[in-house]
Every structure is written in structure tokens, then in C-alpha cells.
Chains A and B, each alone.
Chain A
Amino acid sequence: MSRKINKILGLGAIAAFGFASSAFAQCPTGPVPPWSSQSALGGAVAIVSGGFDGTSCRLNSSITANIGGAAAFVRDDTPADEPTYRAQFLINVDALTGLSAIQSAKVFGATTTAPFGGVGDVVRIGIQGNFSGTATLGVRTACEGQPGNVCSATSPLTAGVNRVEIAYAKGGNPSLRVWVNNTTEGSHTLALNGNNNSWGGVDFATLGLAAPSPGFRTGQANRTVGFDEFDSRRTTFIGN
């Protein structure tokens, strides 16, 4: 957990995982600060030793109760109506065994306080299973005029740690680019393009499990998803 958040962004250094670069550093007892807040309703978030990229600590998130609205995430309030927003994080979902196509949860959101059409997350990254029970990344973004005012895509995840980066642009073409285990800026893994002009800019971001489906709550309870090295910026590619 050595990487600080918002390296260049100018969003302000919230340094969510920026505790220490030494692999022997002691982990903090909780995520706040540097995160702005945490939500652990029917879930648990914890900073534990053992980062994912030679770092010292990581964030663990798990859903512990089968209740609607269960969540276990941290929140960064640093963004302020950002029309462009980039973020990167590492995620490991190996503990979710047999993740099925009806088991899903949000793991990252870039959200506006000026939503449109009932959609607040201008970017929503989720995990879900496919028909074969393999973990897959779900990607969703604001798309006015499309069903539900969203566009979606999916991308396979690999076993172990996955690196996910997003670049959102209000009025952009494409409006969302995503890199999965890919640190080459010119060759994003997937892109979505929709009219997102009716939404406000990004006002906060969340990282951790949220909005678990009923199937996830019953089938993946108490199983941990790990996160590390969150970083966010306004414009420049984060990469490795």
C-alpha cells in the first residue's frame, strides 16, 4: 500500500494507501484518514498487512450480512465536479469461489452529486461471474438515451492481482476508456461512448464492495476482496 492517491491530479493528496513504502511498515488501524470516510453496513473494511505489488498493506473488503444495502467501501471526497477523471487500483478476487452470473457487486464508483435519469455513478466498475463461474469485470458508464441511461461492457479478470485503470471524460469520445492489466495508454482494453453531458462531474469516488446482488450476499458472504494502490488524477495516464 505504498502508492499515494492523486499523484499529479491536483485533487489534493488523500494518500489512501500512502502510508509507507517499506514492506516492513506497520499498517494503520483503519482507512480513515487518508480516505474521507468508510461505510461498513453489513460488511467490513480493514487495512491488513501484505500489499499486492511489493507494498506493505492492502485494503480488505467483505460482505458479512445478507441485508439489502450491505456495503464495505471507502470514499474519497477530494474530487470536485471533475469533468475528466482517471483512477487506477489493484484488485484480487481469488477468495470469491464459484462466482456465478447472478453474483455481482460494485467495487469502484466515480460518482456525481448532480445525477441524471436516476444514475449517479458516471463510472461503475463491478465484479460478476460468467456462465462458467469465472470472475469478470463489469463496466458501466453514463449514457443518456440508452436503456437505463447507461452503457455497459465486460472484461475478463485473471487469477491473482488485476490492475484496473479508467479514464472518464464528460463530453469525450470515447467517454470512458478502461485498461485491465494493460499499462499501454494507446491501447485501452475497452471503451464506451455515450452522451454524458447531462451529468455533473465526478464529486467522489468509492472503492470496495457495494450493492451486492442477493446471490452475492448469500453465496460470497465473509469472503474478502483485496484492493491496493489506488491512484487518481485529472488528466494524465497513470500506467504502472
Chain B
Amino acid sequence: MNKLAVAIAGLLVVSSSAWAQTCETPTRLFAGETITGNTCDGENTLPNYGGTDSPQAELVYYFDNEDASGDFVFAHTGTAFGGGMFLMPSPCSNATDPISFGNSDNPMPANNLAAGGTPLVNGTRYFVIVTADPGGPADACGPFSLTAPDPLPVELQSFSVD
């Protein structure tokens, strides 16, 4: 009898690493996961998101879409710094316009369809960029938590065959 044990990385609280989380080295998000971080640990490697100028530091996360739905939920975990997030399609680049956004007042739909846009494409990588309000001070940054919706792609943590 085969046994398949799959554990999803759900409802975990993971502290994101302080090393640069850029378009080149983004951190993966998993379903239901809550990560914490501090955008003061990031750099302004994306001075603009397409036409949106963004002089604040950012941290870059990604997920490979598979029927994503629900909302990304952002929260300040210290002094509010006007933080929020953008959903950017591939490629992750300063030339790419984001397709959705959210902040502590307004969760960000994982699937752009909910925002009246086009649906996300399965099997395609998308990026979640956590930053401060682009219209705010350039040096605004701070600690936050980000909860990914479920479903997002699950993480295979163990697999065994008897």
C-alpha cells in the first residue's frame, strides 16, 4: 500500500530573511503562510513599477499560480509606515506594471479577476512586492506581516512509499 503524506505549509509564521529579496532573489510564498519581514532590510531595487514611481525600499516574494484565489493580507507589526503590496506579473522588473495592490486597509486579491482585471494564468509566476506607499516619503519602511491566501501552490514537505 502506498502512503502519500503531503503536508502543506499552512498557517506557519516564518520570518523572512534579511538578505536582499529582489527580483533576482525573491522569497517564495506558500498557501496560507504568514511571513513577517521589515522593508527597512530591503533596498530600492525597483525605482518604478512600470509607470508607477516607487522610491521606497521593497521586498520581493513570488508564487507560481495554480488557481489562486482569496486575498493577500498585509498588516503593520510595528509603527505604521504606510506599507502595502503590489501584485506584479512576470517578468519582475521595473518595466512591468503591477496589476493589483493592497495595504492594511484593503487586502489584495490574489486573482486579479476579483479586481475587475484579467484572471491570473495557471503555471505562471507572479510577484508580490511589499513596500511603502509610493506616494509617501521615500524613506518610509518598517516591519510587517503578510498572509498568503489559500489556495496557493502547496509545498510538498514529505513523501513516502511503503
Contacts and interface: CB of A to CB of B under 8 A. Distances in A.
Q: Do A and B bind each other?
A: yes
Interface of A: 100-102, 104-106, 126, 128-132, 134, 136, 138-140, 143, 146-148, 150-154, 156, 211-216, 218
Contacts of B117: 214-215, 218
B94 interface: yes
A102 B99 contact: yes
A214 B94 CA distance: 15
Given A152-B54, A154-B134, A100 B101 contact: yes
Interface string B77-97: 000001010100000011101
B134 A130 contact: yes
B56 to A, nearest CB: 9
Contact of A147 (B44, B53, B105): B44
Interface residues of B, number: 32
Nearest to B83: A131
Of B47, B86, B105, the most chain A CB neighbours within 10 A belong to B47
Contacts of B121: none
Given A140-B47, A150-B47, A153-B138, A102 B98 contact: yes
B101 A214 contact: no
A150 B98 contact: no
Per CB-CB distance, the 10 closest pairs between chain A and chain B, nearest first, are: A130-B135, A104-B51, A138-B53, A136-B135, A148-B94, A152-B53, A152-B47, A213-B97, A131-B133, A213-B51
A151 B54 CA distance: 9
Contact of B53 (A128, A211, A218): A128
Nearest to A130: B135
Contacts of A101: 52, 84, 86, 98, 101, 133-135
Contact of B46 (A147, A212, A216, A218): A147
Given A147-B45, A147-B47, A215 B55 contact: no
A154 B55 contact: yes
B108 to A, nearest CB: 10
Nearest to A151: B47
Given A102-B100, A104-B53, A138-B48, 14 more contacts: A100-B101, A101-B52, A101-B84, A102-B97, A104-B52, A105-B51, A128-B135, A138-B52, A152-B53, A154-B53, A154-B134, A154-B135, A215-B97, A218-B116
